[in-house]
Amino acid sequence: MPIYQIGPKRLVVGAHYGLKEWIIQRVTAVVMVVFTVVLLVDYCITGSATYEGWSALFSNQLMKLLTFLAFFSLFYHAWIGIRDIWMDYIKPVSIRLTLQVLTVLYLIACAVYAVQILWKV
Amino acid sequence: MVDAQNTVKKDKPVFRNIGLAQLIHYRLPWAGKVSILHRISGAVLFLMLPFLLYLLDQSLASELSYQTFQAITGHFLVKIVCLGLIWCFLHHFCAGIRYLLLDLEIGVEKSESNRSAIVVFILGLTLTAIVGLKLFGLY
């Protein structure tokens, strides 16, 4: 019997995605911090908010990639966070599963919208 | 025998020490307050994602849509909503960095952790005030 199979008869320690998701939540957080700092530095350098400056920032290839990474991180981070909320407060499996599925669909829709926005710039 | 077992099961005491009505009487330490606000601010940001993406879309799509963006965010009520979301972001941001530091075992002592929780709370509000003053054109 593998060591993680705690309990005499059945597996009681979940699906082993705890550590993976825990690390992903932290990595995605760091990506978003970097993105925030870049935006802040750009604002401090340019000083004023104009359409030209704003759209030029996002049409830069490197910035586009970083923005895409930040958005991807945001949606993955949000998924883990909201999943944790459902797991903490919603006990009936059917309702929890429904909410989790809706959360995933909602986040995928948001991700598609985000890609469209970045594509246009 | 089966009946006897059932009555035993029924008589099992149920301890319900968490009730929604009791929530207001909870006296959380600062770390606890920061933690629950971290969760609430995250959930609010999650729910407002379509609105925030819409604003980003308007601000980037074209010069014309940029004017729409300025008109929308120029509205007083929208500014209030944005200020709330800015607090959500800043609190979530500061509290998140606190958690990252705690994960690196920085500031895990009880007194340090209490102090850092207060710092996160004050920093979130102060930064929101700074951005808010800018948002409402006071400087």
Q: What's the rounded Cα separation, in Å, for the pair B128 and B85? A: 10
In-domain check, residue B20: no
Q: Inter-chain contact B60–A55, Cβ cutoff 8 Å?
A: yes
Domain assignment of residue B130, yes or no: yes
pLDDT of residue B123: 97
Global pTM reads: 0.85
| Whole-number pLDDT of residue B122 | 97
Per residue of chain A (121 residues), give pLDDT as tens.
Answer: 455 555 666 666 666 667 889 999 999 999 999 999 999 999 888 876 789 989 999 999 999 999 999 999 999 999 999 999 999 999 899 999 999 999 999 999 999 999 999 988 8
Q: Tell whether B132 lies on the interface with A, counting CB pairs under 8 A.
A: no
Within a domain: residue B21? no
Q: Rounded to an integer, what distance in angstroms lies between the CA atom of residue B62 and that of residue B53?
A: 15
Q: CA-to-CA distance for B19 and B116, rounded, in angstroms?
A: 29
Q: Which H or E run contains A26?
A: helix A18-46
Domain boundary assignment for chain A: 18-120
Q: How many CB pairs under 8 A join A and B?
A: 49
Q: Which of B50, B116, B113 is nearest to B85 (CA)?
A: B50
Find out whether A118 and A62 touch, Cβ atoms under 8 Å: no
Supply the ipTM of this predicted assembly: 0.85
What confidence category does residue B115 fall into, taking pLDDT thresholds of 50, 70 and 90?
very high
Instruction: Tell me which of 3.10.20.30, 2.60.34.10, 1.20.1300.10, 3.40.1160.10 is the CATH number of domain A18-120.
Output: 1.20.1300.10
Q: Report whether B120 contacts B34 (CB < 8 A).
A: yes
CB contacts, 8 Å: A110 with chain B: 49-50, 53
**Does the residue B1 lie in any domain?**
no
Q: With contact defined as beta carbons under 8 Å apart, do B85 and B48 qualify?
A: yes
How far apart are the CA of A117 and the nearest CA of chain B, in angstroms?
Answer: 5
